[in-house]
Structure 1
Amino acid sequence: MEMENHIVDPIMPKHVAIIMDGNGRWAKQKGKIRTFGHKAGVDAVKASVSFAIKNDIAVLTLFAFSSENWNRPVEEVRVLMELFKLVLSSEVKKLHKNKVRLRVIGDISRFDAKLVDKISKAETMTANNTGLTLNIAANYGGKWDIVNAAKTMCAQVQDGKIVLDDISETLFHSYTCANDLPEVDLLIRTGGEQRISNFLLWQLAYAELYFTDVYWPDFSEEVFLQAVTNFSERQRRFGLTGEQVCS
């Protein structure tokens, strides 16, 4: 591992989330169709996972396919689904070898049976790994996550398993997709846009946000390093004053 890709800093983020944006625009710049950019983006996924492992980041969550992405052109959606299957087939053993625990968060019920089976097998193979937790958010939406948690909690109230006075932020969190993981410390979005696009709305409450103009296929360990360096230089106050944090 090259030293310039390693940060010796006690304020490393435990949980990094990335909105992988700009594949289509990257392809357009090169005179290619949008799906060419999605395929090129796989290398950036590998780079981000490699960086996270090298620098002891505990959790990496990648926004691969939002619940709104179904509205994209049919051919683009088809290619994305086939690419997801291909990556699961080709990369899971490598992840397992590197002790990565892979999870897919989101409503996978809309995926075809073959993809659901590949997801299940990948999660089972890596379930007991103790290294990086890699979450792939697929058919995921932050509003869906919150509504789904609320519906589950309401059903528990109706069944008499909990009462209204039991409901708290901690209990609500336990019903969300990422209930066993630390909240997001750092959100990175590539591609020049500056919004969170319905991603991890509950979990981003106190996240630091970092936006870069770099399109996702060009996202490298060096760009990841820039984002984490920027994060490490910020003072996280969580509602306190700067003086309180420093005291």
Structure 2
Amino acid sequence: MNTLAGKTAIVTGASRGSGRAAALALAKAGAQVIVHYRHSANEAQAVVAEIRGIGSRSDAIAADLSSPDGPHRLARRVRGIVGDRLDILVANAGIQTHAAAGDTSIEDFTRQFALNVRAPYFLVQQLLPIICKGSSVVFQLPFVAHAAATRGASDAAIGGAVQTMTRHLALALGERGVRVNALLIAPAMGQPANAGRTVPEGLGTAVTFLASDAARWITGEIVQINDSAELSREQACLAPCIPTVATTTN
């Protein structure tokens, strides 16, 4: 179903992994998709070719979002392609360290914060003039379970920052008719919680749903997606601790 026909979208970190899955799902639903990448030009162009093969429009843009002016430069180029209307922003680009607090360097933490928190914040800021009423912003973040917290202290801290940013922006942009949600990507059953980003089978469906009019009453939510219908004990323990804000837009 072309539920997103006529919509424009940008997916950061879309050359592979969960970003690629999100970009392809949006394209299959009819959206024009801009594929952002940092270094993987060949992989990004392959995603663009696949999207065009589906029948949707697509372009690739390179930008280093960890640099202070990266989000600003990316936003300018996005506006040059889509004009004065952007319907969907999927902020997927990010890194994990899996390092214990005592092993995290200032340089690693600074770079991780810049890419995972600062970049999506300022990308939203710079794209806000063209993010129209009814638009959807989706942040993607990896799952950090209790058992992994000591091995990924910075991951947990930054994941919490993204969740807080999601809820704040949902409240701040709700009056503009812009919805903001986050996808919490849980590891597959049997996979270590610190194994890095996984690509659950339902990720594309979840992104497409949150971007569509069917989710017009959903904002400020942290939506957890899993590869299995069953929660692991760690996931079940954490799930009640995930705060959400139920707000609505017209």
What TM-score, normalized by structure 1, do the two folds share?
0.38
Structure with more contact order per residue of length (Cα contacts < 8 Å, sep ≥ 6): 1
